[in-house]
Structure 1
Amino acid sequence: MRITRVRATPVAVPYRTDETWAFGRRRGLVALLVEVDTDEGLTGLGEAAAYPSADAVLGALRAMEPLVVGSDPLRIEQLVQRIDVVGTYHHTGCSSPAAAALETACWDLLGKSCGTPVVNLLGGRFRDRVEFFHYVAAAGPDEVRAEGARAARAGARTCYLKVGSDDLDTDLERLAALREGAGRKMGIRVDANEAWSAGAAVQAVAAMEEFGLELVEQPVSGRNLPEMAYVRSRIGTPLLANEASWTRSDQFAVLREGAADVVSADQQMDGGLLNLKRSAGLCAAAGVPVVKHSLGELGVAVAAAVHVIASTPNFRCANQGYGALLTDDIVEGRFAGPLENYTDGCLEVPPEPGLGVRLDAEKVGRYAELYREEGAGFAFHDPAALSRAPALPKR
């Protein structure tokens, strides 16, 4: 089998409500759907997050195309090494989602050619379904309270809330509303996106702990691991590394410094599914749980991650997903996408060969057109935040 062509389609899918974090917002999710065609008539599916932008990732994908066309897609390690070493893309960054999409498509092709789900090629099922948290958009207390109640009705066990507001009282009001709406049994995870200095982080987490926190994600800069370790030693809530831990090299450094209790990993930011599995193995060796991070993914990338997570023991916490925010998806059936496709916050492992998902041609066309017409409006930016001259940390 040989790769004959790589096709990429940018799509934009709206959110129910804007996603807002310490330094910006976006009103929907942009992704690049990648289809890898072969001379045997099989097509593999992949998906690249539009990080930092769709144009940047599309440019990287086109530059990688000569490295993969003509290759055997079933020799996944060989193909990835050609991208990383010959193409010099081992310097991870905005090229990583493109490489991950190509690698994922090859796993899809391998599963389809063998007639088995990808999970069986990665060690088999350790679990039959994969848990995701309920993303609660940062909003006014009434909206946050209502979303917490929605999460509880849906059977979610963990809610995720962005913090790091200009005023700590705003964060505390939202947290109080979320606890009230979600109930006392709901796990609550907060994410500051590096918004705080070490002293501010210790102060903020201490104030928030009365509401019962499961994890506090990246409270300080991910580029200062001793500072992370210091904050970890001063707070009562386990610290989750995120911006500090997007690649295996980063994760190794976090573990060596004792800078986190839990580590997040992301196949989009480290070149693919096999590296996500390796990340989990690295963390398991250190006795640390791992969490799947997401820059915002649709059904193809979510399905791909589910196969890895289902086959890997130490994904013991709820993983990041966008089901609570998405209005739709681009895959057929009830596998991924909006919240109603989840059961108690979980997705079943697809049983079909490969990734087990198929594109919905009508929806792909619709959201590709939306991207062409309004793609700039879905980008990672916020005019109001830009006017405030943002800088890290906030306080």
Structure 2
Amino acid sequence: MKIVSMDTFLVPPRWLFLRIRTDEGITGWGEPVVEGRAETVRAAVAELADYLIGEDPLRIEDHWQVLTKGGFYRGGPVLSSAVAGIDQALWDIAGKAAGLPVHQLLGGPVREKVRMYAWIGGDRPAEVAELAVAQIEAGFTAVKMNGSAELTAIDTPARTMEVVQRVAAVREAIGEHHDLVVDLHGRASTAMARRLLPMLEPYLPLFVEEAVLPEHSRNLAALATSTSIPLATGERLFSRWDFRDVIGHGIAVAQPDVSHAGGISEVRRIAAMAETYDVTMAPHCPLGPISLASSLQLAFTIPNFLIQEQSVGIHYNQGNDVLDYLLDPAPLTFPGGYATRSTRPGLGIEIDEAEVERMARQGHRWRSPLWRHADGSFAEW
């Protein structure tokens, strides 16, 4: 079997899909994208295609090594995300060629269903408690919220209490039998995180995500000793070498993104490394259906898995949503807040190619929001 073509599709609301076709008629799909930099990743995929066209798609590990190391300059979100989408598509082809789901090729399932959580926003809206209740009523057992809007390096008592009160309102609304995840999104300085975390402890978050920016990851060990809240990070780390500097140094939960951190092949290795430090996995996934399907294939095989993010109905999905590009939405619906294990081959989903091609003609130019403080200076989003 040989790879004969690689095509990318910019589809709304903010995604990039990759289709790899083979000379035996098997097609694999991947989702190589950096949010707000989709065109840049698209160019990287095109460069990597020069090597892959004509190659055997089943030599997944060899291709991963060549694509990540063969260009001399290595790493970074653009290259790692390009490789991630290619890796997903190659695993999809391998599963379809074998007539098996990818998780069977990875050693088989360790669970029959995967716990999911739902987003409720939280940085701007005041109605987070009502949104949380709606998700619980929809069957989810856990929700995630942004903890704050923009924060200054050491913000006022009033802004500090806004964060605490918002979290308290959600905890009161959903009760003690459901879980709450708080995402600080790197908006807090180390000093603000040190102030906020003890104040959030009474509300028992499942974990707090990105308490500090990834460039300040060296401070996570000290933060972890100052709070009982489990700390999580990883959506902006792109390899096991990036994670080496945080796993074993204070975090309780690792959050690699299968569309950013080298794909299925690399996230599986990150999970194995995390397991040796008693760190669980809650993979990042606010993206489209291919990224989510890839995440679920991993979740069924990872022993130290905790919970899975998903983006159905997330506030970023304006105009188009995750299920719009599927011929059958069933694999990405979550009765009772869980994804059920499927035996469908490959990634377990069927992409609606006609819809992808139609929406790619519309395309998108999604960019990350730009926030500023009251004094006009840049604020972390």
Output the TM-score relative to the length of structure 2: 0.89
The answer to whether the 8 A contact 1:83-1:89 is kept is no
The answer to whether the 8 A contact 1:335-1:350 is kept is no
Shift of 1:139: 5.6
Match of 1:334 in 2: 329
Instruction: Tell me the distance in 2 between the aligned counterparts of 1:217 and 1:175.
Output: 14
Residue 193 (structure 1) aligned with residue 185 (structure 2) = yes
Deviations 1:154-178 (A, max 9, x none): 2212211112433223323322332
Match of 1:299 in 2: 289
SS at match of 2:95: helix
Match of 2:15 in 1: 31
Which of 57, 62, 82 is residue 98 of structure 1 equivalent to?
A: 82
Shift of 1:362: 4.6
Which of 192, 200, 207 is residue 208 of structure 1 equivalent to?
A: 200
Instruction: Tell me the distance in 1 between the aligned counterparts of 2:9 and 2:101.
Output: 25
SS at match of 2:275: helix
Instruction: Tell me the distance in 2 between the aligned counterparts of 1:221 and 1:298.
Output: 24
Shift of 1:8: 0.6
SS at match of 1:268: coil
Deviations 1:54-97 (A, max 9, x none): 11111101111101001100011111122122234632321222
The answer to whether the 8 A contact 1:168-1:204 is kept is yes
Instruction: Tell me the distance in 2 between the aligned counterparts of 1:140 and 1:96.
Output: 31
Deviations 1:84-115 (A, max 9, x none): 22234632321222111111111111111111
Match of 1:136 in 2: 120
Which of 205, 223, 237 is residue 229 of structure 2 equivalent to?
A: 237
Residue 86 (structure 1) aligned with residue 74 (structure 2) = no
Shift of 1:182: 2.2
Shift of 1:5: 0.7
Instruction: Tell me the distance in 1 between the aligned counterparts of 2:294 and 2:182.
Output: 26
Instruction: Tell me the distance in 1 between the aligned counterparts of 2:10 and 2:124.
Output: 32
Identical aligned residues as a percent: 25
Q: Which amino acid aligns with 2:239?
A: T
Which of 356, 377, 381 is residue 389 of structure 1 equivalent to?
A: 377
Residue 361 (structure 1) aligned with residue 353 (structure 2) = yes
SS at match of 1:213: coil
Structure 1 residues 219 and 351, CA gap change in structure 2 (3 angstroms) = same
The answer to whether the 8 A contact 2:186-2:214 is kept is yes
Match of 2:278 in 1: 287
Which of 53, 65, 86 is residue 37 of structure 2 equivalent to?
A: 53
Instruction: Tell me the distance in 1 between the aligned counterparts of 2:121 and 2:347.
Output: 29
Match of 1:17 in 2: none
Shift of 1:336: 5.5
The answer to whether the 8 A contact 1:350-1:357 is kept is no
Match of 2:299 in 1: 309
The answer to whether the 8 A contact 1:37-1:43 is kept is yes
Which segments of 5 or more consecutive residues in structure 2 lack a partner in the other structure? 152-158
Residue 348 (structure 1) aligned with residue 340 (structure 2) = yes
Residue 323 (structure 1) aligned with residue 312 (structure 2) = yes
Instruction: Tell me the distance in 1 between the aligned counterparts of 2:101 and 2:185.
Output: 35
The answer to whether the 8 A contact 1:299-1:335 is kept is no
Moved more, 282-291 or 46-55: 46-55
SS at match of 1:267: coil
Deviations 1:291-332 (A, max 9, x none): 2112x32111211111111011101x2222212415633112
Structure 1 residues 96 and 117, CA gap change in structure 2 (3 angstroms) = same
Output the TM-score relative to the length of structure 1: 0.86
Shift of 1:42: 1.2
Deviations 1:338-377 (A, max 9, x none): xxx2112222233211112111235324532442xxx23x
Which of 178, 200, 222 is residue 170 of structure 2 equivalent to?
A: 178
CA RMSD of aligned residues (A): 2.3
Shift of 1:183: 2.6
Structure 1 residues 156 and 113, CA gap change in structure 2 (3 angstroms) = same
Which segments of 5 or more consecutive residues in structure 1 lack a partner in the other structure? 14-29
Structure 1 residues 286 and 212, CA gap change in structure 2 (3 angstroms) = closer
SS at match of 1:269: coil
Instruction: Tell me the distance in 2 between the aligned counterparts of 1:301 and 1:287.
Output: 26
SS at match of 1:123: coil
Instruction: Tell me the distance in 2 between the aligned counterparts of 1:382 and 1:107.
Output: 36
Structure 1 residues 383 and 205, CA gap change in structure 2 (3 angstroms) = closer
Instruction: Tell me the distance in 1 between the aligned counterparts of 2:167 and 2:12.
Output: 30
Which of 128, 134, 159 is residue 150 of structure 1 equivalent to?
A: 134
Deviations 1:158-217 (A, max 9, x none): 211112433223323322332233233221111112222223212112222232311111
Deviations 1:203-235 (A, max 9, x none): 112222232311111212322334111111111
Instruction: Tell me the distance in 1 between the aligned counterparts of 2:184 and 2:239.
Output: 20
Instruction: Tell me the distance in 2 between the aligned counterparts of 1:261 and 1:304.
Output: 23
Q: Which amino acid aligns with 1:298?
A: G
SS at match of 1:300: helix
Q: Once superposed, which parts of structure 1, at least 4 consecutive aligned residues long, lie more than 4 Å away?
A: 139-142, 383-387
Q: Which amino acid aligns with 2:208?
A: V
Moved more, 379-388 or 139-148: 379-388
Instruction: Tell me the distance in 2 between the aligned counterparts of 1:60 and 1:189.
Output: 34
Instruction: Tell me the distance in 2 between the aligned counterparts of 1:385 and 1:243.
Output: 24
Structure 1 residues 383 and 70, CA gap change in structure 2 (3 angstroms) = same
Instruction: Tell me the distance in 2 between the aligned counterparts of 1:66 and 1:252.
Output: 31
Deviations 1:128-170 (A, max 9, x none): 2222211111266652122111111122122111124332233
